């Protein structure tokens, strides 16, 4: 299949030539949180057919944005990971997420799928670095069967899939309640206070959670 192009000698147009096709940026979004197997990507991107997924992955490989790897033991299975060039798209995708939280989210539509694992990148998108100054803590989040964690180190964040080895605080919330938080622009602290989520662990870490992740107040694009 011939790659479509804007035929413009412009950095924005050249970038869109590479990542502007449908599903491409979402594939990069998935890989920003670590290597994924073909089946992992299929599970996270429902609606993307097997053939199109394979074609998009080949495109990313061909353009030097992703490459094949073998996962370390005990998995030892083929997977896809971003190259340096692919990783550098991270800030742009996070900025798109921040814009979307403010201007595009609103309530969930009946036809829309949701995967709790997407919150791993969401934690980075709504991270409040100022509130994290001087804070060092590991938070584990359990959204139904999905587990992920965030390591906060004096104004920086590392968010990853899977459980934390030694979490300072653990937050448990249902997928339904989590989706409701996102749609209303509320925080984990709000959910804990209302009883929609439960929390356990170090009191100082739990106190620091209050302003750590801030969703921008939803705005309407038509006023």
CATH of the domain at 46: 1.10.10.10
Residue 192 lies in a domain: yes
Query: Do 120 and 172 fall within a single domain?
Result: yes
Residue 69 lies in a domain: yes
Residue 183 lies in a domain: yes
Collect the ranges in the chain with pLDDT lower than 50. Answer: none
Query: Do 123 and 41 fall within a single domain?
Result: no
**pLDDT at residue number 190:** 87
Encode pLDDT of 22-70 as tens digits. 999 999 999 999 999 999 999 999 899 999 999 999 999 999 999 999 9
**pLDDT at residue number 17:** 96
Query: Do 74 and 129 fall within a single domain?
Result: no
DSSP assignment string, the chain: -PPP-----SHHHHHHHHH-STTHHHHHHHHTTS-B-HHHHHHHSTT--HHHHHHHHHHHHHTTSEEEEEPPTTT--EEEEE-HHHHTTHHHHHHHHHHHHHHT--SPPTT----GGGHHHHHHHTB-TTTTTT-EEEEEEEETTEEEEEEEETTEEEEEES--SS-SEEEEE-HHHHHHHHHHT--HHHHHHHTSEEEEE-HHHHHHGGGTB-PPPP--S--
Query: Do 126 and 184 fall within a single domain?
Result: yes
213: which 2 tokens?
């992740």
Query: Do 136 and 63 fall within a single domain?
Result: no
**pLDDT at residue number 49:** 95
Residue 25 lies in a domain: yes
**pLDDT at residue number 1:** 52
Query: Do 55 and 141 fall within a single domain?
Result: no
Residue 219 lies in a domain: no
Query: Do 79 and 122 fall within a single domain?
Result: no
- Quote the domain boundaries for residue 60: 11-88
Query: Do 123 and 163 fall within a single domain?
Result: yes
CATH of the domain at 173: 3.30.1050.10
Residue 20 lies in a domain: yes
Give the contacts of 200 (CB within 8 A, at least 6 positions apart).
169, 170
Query: Do 82 and 139 fall within a single domain?
Result: no
């Amino acid at each position: 299949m011939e790659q479509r192009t804007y035929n413009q000698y412009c950095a924005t147009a050249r970038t869109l030539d590479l990542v502007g096709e449908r599903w491409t940026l979402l594939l990069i979004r998935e890989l920003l949180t670590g290597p994924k197997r073909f089946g992992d990507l299929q599970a996270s991107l429902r609606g993307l057919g097997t053939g199109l997924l394979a074609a998009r992955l080949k495109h990313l490989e061909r353009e030097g944005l992703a490459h094949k790897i073998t996962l370390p033991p005990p998995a030892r299975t083929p997977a896809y990971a971003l190259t340096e060039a692919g990783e550098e798209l991270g800030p742009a995708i996070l900025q798109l997420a921040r814009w979307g939280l403010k201007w595009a989210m609103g309530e969930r539509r009946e036809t829309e799928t949701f995967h709790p694992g997407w919150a791993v990148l969401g934690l980075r998108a709504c991270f409040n670095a100022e509130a994290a100054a001087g804070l060092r803590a590991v938070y584990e989040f359990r959204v139904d069967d999905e587990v992920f964690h965030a390591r906060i180190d004096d104004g920086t964040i590392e968010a990853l899939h899977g459980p934390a080895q030694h979490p300072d605080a653990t937050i448990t919330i249902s997928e339904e309640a989590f989706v409701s938080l996102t749609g209303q622009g509320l925080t984990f602290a709000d959910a804990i206070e209302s009883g929609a989520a439960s929390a356990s662990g170090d009191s100082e870490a739990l106190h620091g959670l209050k302003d750590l992740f801030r969703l921008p107040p939803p705005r309407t694009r038509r006023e």
